[in-house]
């Protein structure tokens, strides 16, 4: 069983389009995250949700809108895609929101904007 | 703005212990030291974490110096599957977890 899953794995789209990435975890965790890994391989946190509530928003353009319908799902919707949005996006989850809990990452979604 | 310093790359012979160092000289008393790794094209994988004491699990050992300004991740018997980028991270324990990944150390295990 996959602990943290993401769909799609690859996403190729044109500038200006709107796209969504879905994330699901079956670990029973109540905290979920979105990270962006750029071409230089830096992995930066974007958002964190705890029990469907947004707790971290790391100065991400408001074209990015996370949505958590329940605590097992955290989706990422991106409006008006730009070339600079091309990256690998990782979803993660942890048992709690404190630093005493390790994070479990999904396999990533490679987004290419042309 | 990562708070840690790691060598950019290291080699290790297969079957030998891999010792990956990390400096975190500005660590505060309530910050944990975490280690993750990222095998090519996969999501990061948690390895181990600690606050003050040395820690060991089925994957690795974490040795934290007494002043907590540096630590070493030890993979006791490196295999080719351990080839990955290893990230040392400090994370505040007092509030919401916000993990910041640096560049990490690219470990190449050589046959």
Tens digit of each residue's pLDDT (9 = 90 or more) over A39-59: 888 888 898 888 888 887 877
Give A70-106 pLDDT, tens digit per residue. Answer: 989 999 999 999 999 999 999 999 887 666 678 899 9
SS3 B81: helix
Q: B13 is written with which tokens?
A: 């012979």
Tell me whether B32 touches chain A (CB under 8 Å): yes
A92 contacts B97? CB cut-off 8 A: no
Identify which of B42, B45, B93 has the shortest CB distance to residue A99.
B93
A26 has pLDDT over 70 = yes
Is B13 in the A-facing interface, judged by CB distances under 8 Å? no
Cβ separation A103–B45 shorter than 8 A = no
Question: What long-range pairs does A6-11 form, CB within 8 A, spacing at least 24?
Answer: A6/A89, A6/A90, A6/A91, A6/A106, A6/A107, A6/A108, A6/A109, A7/A109, A8/A109, A9/A107, A9/A108, A9/A109, A9/A110, A10/A109, A10/A110, A10/A112, A11/A109, A11/A110, A11/A111, A11/A112
Minimal-distance CA residue of chain B relative to A46: B98
**Selected residue with higher pLDDT from B73 and B95:** B73
A105–B45 CB contact, under 8 Å: yes
Chain A interface includes B39 (CB < 8 A): no
- For A98, the closest of B41, B97, B103 (CB atoms) is B97
Which residues have CB under 8 Å from A53's CB, separation 6+? A68
Which is more confidently placed, A67 or A41? Answer: A67
């Amino acid at each position: 069983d996959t602990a943290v899953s993401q769909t799609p794995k690859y996403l190729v789209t044109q500038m200006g389009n709107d796209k969504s990435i879905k994330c699901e975890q079956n670990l029973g965790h109540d905290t979920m995250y979105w990270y962006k890994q750029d071409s230089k391989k830096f992995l930066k946190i974007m958002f964190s949700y705890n029990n469907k509530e947004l707790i971290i928003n790391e100065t991400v353009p408001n074209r990015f809108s996370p949505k958590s319908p329940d605590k097992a799902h955290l989706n990422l919707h991106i409006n008006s895609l730009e070339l600079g949005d091309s990256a690998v996006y990782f979803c993660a989850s942890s048992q709690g929101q404190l630093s005493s809990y390790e994070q479990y990452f999904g396999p990533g979604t490679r987004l290419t904007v042309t | 703005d990562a708070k840690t310093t790691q060598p950019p790359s290291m080699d290790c012979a297969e079957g030998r212990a891999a010792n990956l160092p990390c400096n975190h000289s500005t660590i505060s008393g309530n910050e944990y030291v975490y280690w993750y790794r990222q095998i090519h094209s996969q999501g990061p994988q948690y390895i181990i974490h600690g606050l003050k004491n040395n820690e060991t699990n089925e994957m690795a050992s974490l040795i934290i110096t007494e002043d907590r300004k540096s630590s070493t991740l030890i993979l006791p018997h490196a295999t080719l599957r351990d080839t990955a980028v290893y990230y040392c991270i400090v994370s505040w324990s007092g509030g919401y977890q916000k993990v910041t990944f640096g560049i990490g150390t690219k470990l190449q295990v050589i046959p």
